[in-house]
């Protein structure tokens, strides 16, 4: 059996039922990753799978989303380009005008003080 992660790109939503069909696999039901194990199992046609990069794994990891959580993921992706998934800008550092050393973010030059 083919791992479904081999068939999809990173950070892109895919219909889980269609993906299982492409992989030649069958599944009666599955649970949304965010709803958890206490939630009601859903048919694959009502789930979406998204693959994420994961350190230590060439294939990454995948998560299943119900319609409610997929909508929240899309809203988050549109509004803020998924914070925490991309590198943040480095803080700007000040240079001491006396000794020309880089000052810490807390302020005050440790060389001159």
pLDDT for 48 beyond 50? yes
Domain range enclosing 52: 4-80
Are the beta carbons of 5 and 51 closer than 8 angstroms?
A: yes
Query: What is the domain count for the chain?
Result: 1
54 three-state secondary structure: strand
Q: Which residue has the higher pLDDT, 27 or 80?
A: 27
In terms of average pLDDT, the best of 20-24, 53-57, 70-74, 99-103 is 20-24
8 within a domain of the structure (yes/no): yes
Instruction: Give the pLDDT band of residue 16 (cuts 50, 70, 90).
Output: very high
93 within a domain of the structure (yes/no): no
pLDDT digits (tens, 9 = 90+) for 58-72: 888 888 999 988 888
């Amino acid at each position: 059996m083919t791992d479904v992660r081999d068939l999809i790109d990173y950070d892109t939503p895919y219909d889980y039922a269609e993906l299982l069909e492409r992989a030649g696999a069958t599944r009666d039901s599955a649970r949304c990753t965010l709803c958890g194990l206490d939630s009601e199992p859903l048919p694959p046609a009502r789930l979406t799978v998204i693959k994420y990069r994961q350190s230590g794994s060439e294939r990454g990891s995948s998560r299943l989303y119900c319609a409610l959580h997929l909508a929240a993921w899309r809203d988050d992706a549109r509004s803020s380009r998924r914070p925490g998934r991309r590198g943040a800008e480095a803080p700007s550092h000040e240079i001491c005008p006396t000794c020309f050393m880089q000052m810490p973010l807390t302020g005050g030059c440790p060389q001159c003080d």
